[in-house]
Amino acid sequence: MALTRNADAVAPVRSSGPISIWMARHASTSLASIGRLFRHPLSSMMIVLVIAVTLALPAAINLVVKNARSISGGWDNALDFSVFLKQELTESEAEALGRLMEQRADVDSVTFISASQALGEFKEQSGFGAALDQLPDNPLPHTLVVRPGAGNTAASMALLHEELENLPETEYVQVDTEWVQRFHAILDIVRQAILIGAALLSIAIIVIIGNTIRLDIENRRDEIEVTKLIGASNAFVRRPFLWTGFWYGLFGGLMALALVYYGLFLLQGPVARLAGLYQSNISIAAMSLAEAAAIVGLGVFLGLFASWFTAARHMRRIEPR
């Protein structure tokens, strides 16, 4: 019986393209790599936890600096001068001087605080009212709180400060927000220290992951030799170790986020009580989406870099005999 070709027969399925094959191989390798991690849950969890704590530490400190800067940000707008007048000045003379200052173009407002008013506020806030009542005279001077105008520049502010100090009625001039400027300078130093610490901790993560990958390579040395013996390239052999580093970095970054957010959750109660005591609306500023993504991205990058560097370094030393 002669065989006839059926024109309607289904043609054989063509093989997938190179991109599909590449993606399928990476998907298979990634699943195999994560399977190896779950087969050793205790050791894998310890490594992930170390990475998470290392990433969470600078992130948490940076969050503290961010909240401190946001809380003190509104204080910069109240750059007032407290002008303490000489003791021999009477109340009427001090009030007249305040009205004269208020007429200046570079001054927005002047608030007069009499010596008796200042002493009363100090008694109420300090709790030493009974002791202060024993004083023969009021030791506090009259005070003028001078608020500069909004159009002042740094040079005009310095000139105003100098002119207020040179007044014959002035005993001492205090810039009320100098401590805020010092506080911001300290925050800048802390931020720089965070960057340096984060760089050192990143090196620690690279060493941790690299050492783990090195031990994994040594444990699979025979498997690597056999794979190379049948013609596998270094890139093919290196692929599962890259995925191992990827999973370490990803899980470490996600756990770091969990630790930071859990810390924020624990602080919600104390911060709310503190805000209630000061009758303020203080609230904790959480991490932005970009900052959270940066932590996870940094963990993934460090995991990939450490695994690639270690695998590339040790893979050249392993050749089939």
Q: What is the pLDDT of residues 137-192, one digit of tens each?
A: 777 788 888 888 777 776 787 788 888 888 888 888 887 566 666 777 787 888 88
* pLDDT tier, 113 (very low <50, low <70, confident <90, very high otherwise): confident
Most confidently modeled of 12-21, 73-82, 196-205? 196-205
Question: Cβ distance 101 to 107 under 8 Å?
Answer: yes
Domain boundaries, the chain: 29-74+181-315, 79-176
pLDDT of 79 strictly over 50: yes
Q: How many whole angstroms from its chain centre is CA 221?
A: 42
Q: Which SS3 state, helix, strand or coil, does residue 220 take?
A: coil
Query: 83 is written with which tokens?
Result: 């002008």
Give per-residue pLDDT as tens, 156-165.
877 888 888 8
Who has greater pLDDT, 117 or 292?
Answer: 292
Q: Which of 123, 122, 111, 114 is nearest to 87 (CA)?
A: 114
Q: Does 79-176 carry CATH code 3.30.70.3040?
A: yes
Strand order in the sheet with 143-148: 107-113, 143-148, 81-85, 170-175
Count the neighbouring beta carbons within 10 Å of the beta carbon of residue 276: 10
pLDDT of residue 275: 64
The one-letter amino acid at 295: I
Distance separating alpha carbons of residues 74 and 66, to the nearest angstrom:
14
Q: Is 162 exposed, middle or buried (0-12, 13-18, 19+ CB in 10 A)?
A: exposed
Answer yes or no: is pLDDT of 127 > 70. Answer: no
72-80 average pLDDT score: 56
Q: In the predicted model, what is the mean pLDDT of the chain?
A: 79
DSSP state of 11: P
In 3-state terms, what secondary structure has residue 12? Answer: coil
Phi–psi pair at 288, nearest 5 degrees: -80, 170
Element (H, E) at 111: strand 107-113
Whether residue 13 has pLDDT greater than 60: no
